[in-house]
Amino acid sequence: MKKLVLLILISIVACKKAEKKTDEDSKTINEQVVKKSTFYTTGDCVLFLKPSEEYFKSHLKDEEGIAEVDGDFNYYANEFYKEQKDNYKIYFVEQRLLAVINTQNDTLFIDRDKEKLNYGVVIQQNDSIQILKGVNTDIDVKMALGIFNPNEIK
């Protein structure tokens, strides 16, 4: 009987130690996931936000019209990129979390899931941040940046 009680106590202690190790491992894994799932940027820039392929397949692929939305987004983002790539830092971002850092090292964290920001544009210009939700044309982005010239329209 004493051996049985001793065996049970050893089992309980061993399980508690294993649980602590698992919690520490989970914390480390979660920190690594956050680092990999966060996009960091500093200074003036334009971020084009779109869902990752995995998110698209698991959450959006069955939504009506989503293929057209995705196609329009890619077209307008690429039009802006081709025209402005020498003038702005432009990034195409699929990460869920964004960390936008201004010149005073203040950081704005954006969780795209909480903001329902599957598609959009984040502009940091002169320490001011604009968030344009949804699909925006290259003209929309230029207007937000204050560089739109109506004489360019054909």
| pLDDT tens, residue by residue, 123-142 | 999 999 999 999 999 999 99
Please state, in angstroms and as integers, the Cα–Cα distance from residue 59 to each residue in 4, 51, 128, 134, following that order. Answer: 51, 10, 32, 16
Measured distance CA(3)–CA(119) in Å, rounded: 63
Q: For the chain, which residues make up each domain, given as ranges?
A: 1-36, 38-152
pLDDT in tens, 78-95: 999 999 999 999 999 999
| pTM above threshold 0.85 | no
Output the CATH code of domain 38-152: 3.40.30
Residue 30: its pLDDT value, please? 53
What is the predicted pLDDT for the residue at 35?
53
CB 91, CB 48: distance < 8 Å:
yes
Of all residues in the chain, the percent with pLDDT exceeding 70 is: 77
Are 93 and 131 in contact, with CB atoms under 8 Å apart?
no
Q: pLDDT digits over 103-120, tens only?
A: 999 999 999 999 999 999
Residues 37 and 32: their CA atoms lie apart, in Å, by 8
